[in-house]
Amino acid sequence: MKNRARFLVVAAVLLALAAVPPVAAALGQPFYLDLFRRIMIFAIAALSLNLILGYGAMVSFGHAAYLGIGAYAVGILAYYGIDNGFLQFAVAIAASAAIALVIGAVSIRTSGVYFIMITLAFTQMLFYLGISLEEFGGDDGMRLAARSRFAGLDLASATPFYYFVLAILAAFLYVVHRVVNSRFGMVIRAAKSNEARTRALGFSPYPYKLAAFVIAGAMGGVAGALLVNQTAYLTPEFMNWTRSGEIMFMVILGGIATLIGPVLGATALLLLEDLLASWTVHWQIILGPILVLVVLFARRGLAGLLPGGAGDD
């Protein structure tokens, strides 16, 4: 029953997102196409963070690193005239997975505040590395030379790009669903729930957690590759620590360790930002208390309020 309700919620959300381009066109508001594409890209980033934060209790405060690596992979290749999307995205995935392997190998040996600080420190290093890359715009960043091209698909055209992002979001939702319910996922969730018991049963959690960390990093890299196509501008700001905080907030707002939560969280946060910013320049004063209330009163975030409710699967 609950599983069915959850499946229907996911299906409804994806259908609603699929309806955005025709609705935006009918209303003569192409701006919404752009906004919701951005929302979906951040939903992918939040979804990947939720895999480790929600299901594995690995509070990575540096998830923006993978946005940056994905974006730089695409941006740098485009700068040298390589706009083949397959190649660009493959490099983005490989690079972010490799960096996640290094960051994870060190950070997963620690826990709690130390884990948070190490992931943050690595991301700051990458942030300053981005600033120091004068060739690629340094501090100011640079324009993306050309958007990614996939065989018959050019991300420069708005609507195909939109559906491309939606397809990736749907695929990643399915992947996360499969992974967290597999034997592998059960080990990660068990280690989150009670690490001592998990060891006593005969599991050694480290390699499983590290593998999850790398998968999340690779998915974050895809979000970064999409983001630079979205903004058409490459900047170290993608890796700013406030960005990591934003992604984490999307996960918490939407509902930790729920499948659809990160999508809801990204949608709510970015829509609120957009709405409040149109009313006042001090929109953060309003957004802050809303977030605090959600954290205090909705333990499983927005997803916990929906049919199917607070469920891990």
Partner 1 sequence: MTDALLHVENLSKSFGALRATDHVTLEARAGETHAIIGPNGAGKTTLIGQLAGNLQPDSGRIRFAGEDITALSASARSHRGLARSFQITSVYRDFTALDNVALAVQAHAGSSFRLWRPARADPRLRDPARVVLDEVGLGARADVLAANLAHGEQRQLEVAMVLATRPRLMLLDEPVAGMGVEESQRMIQFLARFKGRQTIILVEHDMDAVFTLADRISVLVYGRIIATGTPAEIRANPEVRSAYLGEDD
21, 24, 32, 33, 233 from 28: Cα distances, Å: 10, 6, 10, 11, 26
16, 190, 215, 220, 256 from 209: Cα distances, Å: 34, 11, 10, 16, 17
Question: What does the alpha-carbon distance between residue 303 and residue 308 come to, in Å, rounded to a whole number?
Answer: 8
Among 193, 271, 280, 285, the residue binding partner 1 under the rule CB under 8 A is 193
Identify residues 293-312 at the interface with partner 1 (CB under 8 A): 312
204 binds partner 1 (CB under 8 A): yes
Q: How far is the CB of 201 from partner 1 (least distance, A)?
A: 4
Contact pattern from residue 147 through residue 186 relative to partner 1, giving x for each residue in contact according to CB under 8 A and a dash for the rest:
-------------------------------xx-xxxxxx
Nearer of residues 143 and 197 to partner 1, judged by Cβ: 197
Q: How far is the CB of 256 from partner 1 (least distance, A)?
A: 12
Identify residues 111-150 at the interface with partner 1 (CB under 8 A): none
Question: What does the alpha-carbon distance between residue 153 and residue 168 come to, in Å, rounded to a whole number?
Answer: 14
- Strand pairing of 233-234 and 142-143? antiparallel
Nearer of residues 38 and 300 to partner 1, judged by Cβ: 300
Q: How far is the CB of 109 from partner 1 (least distance, A)?
A: 14
Tokens 């050019």, residue located: 154
- Using the contact rule CB under 8 A, the part of the chain among 36-44, 82-90, 101-109, 199-207 near partner 1 is 199-207
Strand partners, 234: 142
CA angle 227, 231, 235 (to 5 degrees): 80
Q: Nearest-CA neighbor of 45 among 209, 298, 270, 236?
A: 270
Question: What does the alpha-carbon distance between residue 119 and residue 59 come to, in Å, rounded to a whole number?
Answer: 9
Nearer of residues 63 and 189 to partner 1, judged by Cβ: 189
Q: How far is the CB of 191 from partner 1 (least distance, A)?
A: 10
Rule CB under 8 A: which residues touch partner 1? 178-179, 181-187, 189-190, 193-194, 196-204, 207-208, 211, 312
